[in-house]
Homo-oligomer: A and B are copies of this chain.
């Protein structure tokens, strides 16, 4: 059975956290919106009043006749199915807890360039974005990076992974967050990097995994761009 991933065709966005898990798992999937007529199919599903379990927004994953929405929830599902999360309850929940914290960080990154409304253009909220970016770079970025550094350094199984001695979906997501932040905030990331060596090392290790390296080198990996969650505006990254 092939998974169907529904997410916007031109950005990595929140869908990328799902793509990375599917790629690392070697799972068969179709990125629906990137196929002919796929984005229309996605929008039709979002408007389908007959669905009993309607997704609120992309990404969502079609598994047989089920639709599963919310990024962290999709990863909870895929992680259990593809051995990318611990089987025991404590490790399973700890992995999910880390994912939800990464999700909070991603929400904050988005709101740096859209502090007033997602429905408005960046240029309509530039002044507010500059104010928000100053706080984000000074307070929030170091707090989040420091937290994940502490989790890696404190892992009883060693700092190679966030949870235990094996790769989990939370590692893949932390890789993606670091990659995105290096694109969007290269100066701020360069300043914070010396305090977060384990986070940087994890990013490099994930990037070198055979399936991830092949994915990153393929046309399936969309480039970062200025319509995405991670955006580079020089004026926000002094």
**Which of A's residues lie within 8 Å of B, judged by CB?**
49-56, 66, 68-70, 72-73, 76-77, 90, 93-94, 96-97, 100-101, 104, 107, 111, 115-117, 119-120, 125, 128, 131-132, 135-136, 139, 147, 150-151, 154-156
Q: Give the CA-CA distance A136 to B50 in the complex, in Å.
A: 27
B155 touches A135 (CB 8 A): no
Q: List 7 A-B contacts (CB under 8 A).
A: A52-B154, A111-B111, A115-B115, A116-B135, A117-B131, A125-B131, A128-B131
Copy number of this protein in the oligomer?
Answer: 2
Supposing A150-B54, A156-B52 touch, asked if A97 and B70 sit within 8 A by C-beta, the answer is yes
Nearest B residue to A60 by beta-carbon distance?
B97
Could you tell me the distance in whole angstroms from the C-beta of A109 to the nearest C-beta in chain B?
13
Q: Give the CA-CA distance A73 to B111 in the complex, in Å.
A: 23
Supposing A107-B107, A147-B56 touch, asked if A97 and B73 sit within 8 A by C-beta, the answer is yes
B70 touches A96 (CB 8 A): yes
Inter-chain contacts of A147 with B (CB < 8 A): 54, 56
Closest 7 CB pairs between A and B?
A: A117-B135, A70-B100, A70-B97, A56-B101, A73-B97, A115-B115, A116-B131
A73 touches B56 (CB 8 A): no
Inter-chain contacts of A116 with B (CB < 8 A): 115, 128, 131-132, 135
Q: Give the CA-CA distance A53 to B148 in the complex, in Å.
A: 11
Inter-chain contacts of A94 with B (CB < 8 A): 53
Nearest B residue to A95 by beta-carbon distance?
B73
**Which residue of B51, B97, B154 contacts A51 across the interface (Cβ within 8 Å)?**
B154
B76 touches A154 (CB 8 A): no
B51 touches A101 (CB 8 A): no
B117 touches A139 (CB 8 A): yes
A49 touches B150 (CB 8 A): yes
Inter-chain contacts of A54 with B (CB < 8 A): 147, 150-151, 154
Q: Give the CA-CA distance A195 to B137 in the complex, in Å.
A: 41
Nearest B residue to A70 by beta-carbon distance?
B100
Inter-chain contacts of A131 with B (CB < 8 A): 116-117, 125, 128
Supposing A56-B147, A70-B100, A72-B100 touch, asked if A93 and B117 sit within 8 A by C-beta, the answer is no
Nearest B residue to A143 by beta-carbon distance?
B56
Q: Give the CA-CA distance A55 to B147 in the complex, in Å.
A: 9
